Amino acid sequence: MSGGALAGAAGLLVGCSRDPNSFGRLEEVWGRRGVIGGRFQRPRAMAIDADDQLYVVDFLARIHVFTADGGFLRAWRTPAYKNGKPTGITVEGGRVLVADTHYYRVLQYTLEGELIESATLGGTNGPGPGEFGLVTDAAHDSTGALYVSEYGGYDRIQKFTADGEYVLEWGQFGAEPGEFNRPQNILVDPQDRVWVCDSCNHRIQVFDTQGQLLAIWGELGTAPGQLSYPYDIAMDAAGKVYLCEYGNHRVQRFTQQGEPLGCWGRQGRGPGELHNPWSLVLDSRGRMHVLDTYNHRVQRVVV
C-alpha cells in the first residue's frame, strides 16, 4: 500500500488503544508478498545506512535495498540457505553485516552487495572462542570492536577486535541476571554500552564493553512497560529507547531506565496494525520504520 492509498489513514494518530501515552503518526505503508525483487517473504531483519536506504532480509535469504519511501534499488542472496535463513542485519562503516544464523557466521558485504570473503567471521558450530551457535546480530563499538550475539544453547555475547580476533565473552543460557534466552538483537550506544534484547526472557540487559551488567529491566506481559519477545531495539538522538515486540505486535518507547513512554501498533492487518513485527530502525529525520513481518511490509511512522 502506498501513501496515496492510505487516503484518510495518513495523518491520523494510530497506536495502542489502551495506552493513553500512545505515540506516532502513520505516514507510509509499503511492500507486498512475493518472490520477485522488491517483494517479501516474511522479512525478518532490517538496517539503515547513512543515506536512509533500508536493507531488509527475508525468509528466502535475500537482502533487499530500498529508499526510505519503499523504492526498490537492488537485491542479492546469501551464498547458502538450505540449512536456514539469516535473522539479523547491521549496516556500519560502509559494510553490511549479515547474521547468517544457521551457518554459524557473520557475513560482510559492500553496500552494493559484494561479499567480502576475507571478512567472514566464524563458520564453525561450537561453544569455543570464535565458534558460534545460531548467530542473531553483530554491532561495532566506537573503537571498532565487534560484538556478536548467538543462541541455541550457547546464548552469549562474544567480542572481537576490528580484525576479527577473539577478545572475550559473557553470558550463558538461563534466566538469571547476565544470562540469556535467545539474545535476538544488540545495540551499542554512543557511550559504548551494549544493549541486548533478551527476547525469550522478555527483558533488556545493558552491559559495558567488558560484559559487566549495568542495568536490567522488563517482564512478560501486555501492559505498558511489560514486554513479549522484544526482538529489536533502536535509540533516538535524545536517548529514548524503542523496542519492537514480536509477541505484543507493537513498538514501545522507553526511557533508558525502562520507564514506558507510550506505544504504537496493535495486532491486525490494516494500516497501523502489525503481525509479529521483527525489526525497526530510525532514519536521519527521526522517523521510525517498522518491519511488519507476517504482513510482508514496512510501515513508516512519524514519532
HSE value, Cβ hemisphere, 13 Å, CA-based, for 46: 35
**Cβ atoms of 76 and 109 closer than 8 Å:** yes
- Grid coordinates of 93: 562503516
Which pLDDT tens digits describe the chain residue by residue (303 residues)?
333 333 223 333 334 755 656 899 999 999 999 999 899 999 999 999 999 999 999 999 999 999 999 999 999 999 999 999 999 999 999 999 999 999 999 999 999 999 999 999 999 999 999 999 999 999 999 999 999 999 999 999 999 999 999 999 999 999 999 999 999 999 999 999 999 999 999 999 999 999 999 999 999 999 999 999 999 999 999 999 999 999 999 999 999 999 999 999 999 999 999 999 999 999 999 999 999 999 999 999 999
Q: What is the DSSP letter of 4?
A: G
Q: Is 58 in contact with 278 (CB distance < 8 Å)?
A: no
| Helix/strand/coil for 138 | strand
Cα 25 to Cα 265: distance, rounded to the nearest angstrom: 10
CB-side exposure of 37: number of CA atoms within 13 Å?
9
212-221 in b/e burial notation, b at 16+ Cβ within 10 A?
eeeebbbeee
3-state helix, strand, coil in the chain (%, to 5): 5, 45, 50
∠ CA 120-206-16, rounded to 5°: 100
Cell triple for residue 122? 566464524
Distances (CA, A) of 187 to 5, 170, 228: 34, 16, 19
Q: What is the DSSP pairing of strand 288-292 with strand 297-302?
A: antiparallel
Cβ partners under 8 Å of residue 222, min gap 6: 228, 248
What is the DSSP code (8-state) at residue 214?
Answer: E
Spatial distance between the Cα atoms of 287 and 236, rounded to a whole number of angstroms: 10
pTM of the model: 0.93
* DSSP-H helix ranges across 5-69: none
